[in-house]
Amino acid sequence: MVQGPMFIRFCVPFFFNVSFFLAALSAKAQLDSTNEQEIPDVDMEIADLIKGMTLEQKVGQLFLVGFQGREITEGAQTMIREVKPGGIILFGRNIKTARQTARLINQSQITATELYHIPLLVAVDQEGGVVSRVKLNPPFPSALSIGNAENEEITQRMGYYNSVLLKSLGFNMNLAPVVDIISDKKPTFIGNRAFGVSVNQAVEMSRAFALGQKLGGIMPTLKHFPGHGSGFVDSHVALPTRNDTLEDMLKADLLPYTNLNQDVSPEAVMVAHIAFPKIDPSGLPAAFSKVFLQDILRKKLNFDGIVVTDDIEMAGASVTTSLGDRAVKSLLAGADMIMVAWNRVAQKSSVNKVIEAIKNGKLPEARINESLERILIAKRSLGILYQATPPNLRSFRSLALSNSISDLSEKLIETATQKSMQTMPQRDPKERVGIMSVVSTRKNFHSHFKKTYNSTTLHFGTPALRSGELVSKLKKSSNSLALVHITSRQVAQLLEYIPKNLKKRVILVNGDSPGIIPSPESYRHIFNIYTSDPRSGGFLGLALRNYFRPSSTPPQPFDLRTPAGN
């Protein structure tokens, strides 16, 4: 069942960003000072807590679980009582409104602390773009549209605002940023969820975003270790295999995971279900590989934060049919938290299997205590070791009613448009452009474009590509052009219906991800903006008006604060 999104309109000016951001920077200075102090090898507070826990409580802390519904039902309470999880993860199925989400999280924390006295890590996938469980209007930009600006200050602010929104609802952990390094030459599974197609851009921008989240009080989780890279196989449905060597990985995919302890501690790393047979000849997915989790991540990269698995229910994790055995294998390999996000029966059976493995000596309790210590230290750093931080809807409304995110989103679109214009072919001064046909699934994209382009335009939906309606329009007038708004791979595939001899009269707006447009050199130009935000139409209209008619009458005033809509 498709759940209704939570839409928040950014429309009222509010001086939220400066005071909160400066306060966060002050907190960072204090944090840096604390990190410089000598930390004892034995943390007595954490050690005493662990000594007082039962085996069932210890094992439960190693699980990150999900549940159905938008409120704490009797079934959810039973799950928390039986599993005693260290954390929960919410998806779109759990989120409808701000108030409902805050109430759900608060009730979950109350249930957990009453039962076993340790608050929960409350996680969510709030990457931006298509993977945003908390929906905003205008939408939170994709990671690639943020990274494409190559501006660390903007990226850090985006991470900070993202975390303020989440923390105000009661979340304390975000399963982001995505630090995979993708190709700009072919489609990838990750798409615009990554921060860059170059190593430097991906490393610098994802790290800035993670630091922003940390400043806002949310624990960032870098993923998907060791890296999906340019692969197209989705580990939800199959096991991806990469033939890279360790030397290859250290030059690219593993760079985002270096020096994490100094930069954004505390933090977590999510390990993916990907096999690298040239690095670990066993062929095991990384989430079950001692080579990756112990030899590479812990020893070579010196990471001492939390290692959480991607969901072990995924097809890529099928090292054995038993989910309980998968949990044991992953913990033996070096994981700290096991995600079982969907199946309540599997959650309970996995916990029982781990307890059984400890009792029969297959899984040393000392190994469990290592992970438990990392989890409890992270909770203490977040201020939730003994008492959960309650939601603060006032902070949520303050940011939601400000233009902080909206203004930065516009800046990103403007920067991407200007960046693409730099590679636009020089215009023939004799060229006279007729009607511009705009193809987009979003009517507001055309509305924004028409307002600034200030000339005759026609709007078509994407079916016009398949039906030949757009082609007919181009054939009728030799000086007409088309602007096609690519919002998905499915739309990109429809470009095959445009004859080769007409493609030089077509300008594309890539609002999705790199590598999805076949034969990109065939088209007059491609604007790579990597966001489907319809307000991009306004910036593109202005840029193309200045390009085709540099001396024309200025357009009517351009107000991007009109509703983004669809």
The tens digit of pLDDT for each residue in 167-202 reads: 999 999 999 999 999 988 888 889 999 999 899 999
Reported as a pLDDT band with limits 50, 70 and 90, residue 139 is confident
Average pLDDT for 359-378: 97
The pair of structure tokens assigned to 331 is 């913990």
Query: Domain spanning 17-34+60-400 has what CATH number?
Result: 3.20.20.300
Average pLDDT for 127-145: 92
Q: Is the pLDDT of residue 9 over 80?
A: no
72-126 confidence digits (pLDDT tens): 999 999 999 999 999 999 999 999 999 999 999 999 999 999 999 999 999 999 9
Least confident of 14-18, 195-199, 337-341: 14-18
The residues assigned a catalytic role are 236, 310
pLDDT > 70 fraction of the chain, expressed in percent and rounded: 88
Q: How far does Cα 211 stand from its chain's mean position?
A: 15
483: Cβ contacts below 8 Å, ≥ 6 apart? 436, 437, 438, 439, 449, 506, 507, 508, 509, 540, 544
Which CATH architecture is the domain 423-548 placed in? 3-Layer(aba) Sandwich (3.40)
CA angle 124, 391, 120 (to 5 degrees): 55
**Between the CA of residue 381 and those of 42, 157, 218, what are the distances in Å?**
16, 21, 10
228-263 confidence digits (pLDDT tens): 887 767 777 788 899 999 999 999 999 999 877 666
Q: Do domains 17-34+60-400 and 423-548 have the same CATH topology?
A: no
pTM: 0.89
Least confident of 33-47, 58-72, 464-478: 33-47
Q: Provide the 3-class DSSP secondary structure of residue 265.
A: coil
Q: Is the pLDDT of residue 155 over 90?
A: yes
DSSP state of 195: S
Terminal Cα-to-Cα distance of the chain (whole angstroms): 21
Q: For the chain, what are the domain ranges?
A: 17-34+60-400, 423-548
The Cα–Cα gap between 280 and 302 comes to 19
Q: Tell me the residue length of the chain.
A: 566
